[in-house]
Amino acid sequence: MDRTTGIERRQHPRVVVNWPVIMKSTQGFMAGETKDVSNGGAFISCREPLKPKEVFELAISVSLLHPRVKAIAEVIWSNPSRHNDEPEFRGMGVRFIKIADKDLELISALVSNHLKPADSHWQEEKITD
């Protein structure tokens, strides 16, 4: 949601998750936790978020029963760490720019399974676009 206008700009519904993620950027490897996810991207909580427009590789552990979801992502926005920030607010919003069809299908299925009935109007509205 755009904080200045209050208008929802996301193209895909998101669901709340707590999935571990490993990221590889030009700065090396780092760990984080995926806090919400959609077919188009995710919010990743981490100690030192990357800067907007940075591109990196990620591997998300969605469950013990599935292989890791791998993708190339771009940072869309970032909450850098500050000494007085609560840890859960540090992180970055990312957009998947390259993801295998099988991984996108898995994310899509998991998102669909987690949508609440109240969220279905959102999904129906977007289907007609």
pLDDT in tens, 99-118: 999 999 999 998 888 765 44
pLDDT at 24: 98
Whether residue 85 has pLDDT greater than 60: no
Reported confidence tier of residue 28, pLDDT bands at 50, 70, 90:
very high
Which CATH number, 1.10.10.60, 2.40.10.220, 3.90.870.10, 3.40.50.1100, labels domain 15-127? Answer: 2.40.10.220
**Size (the chain), residues:** 129
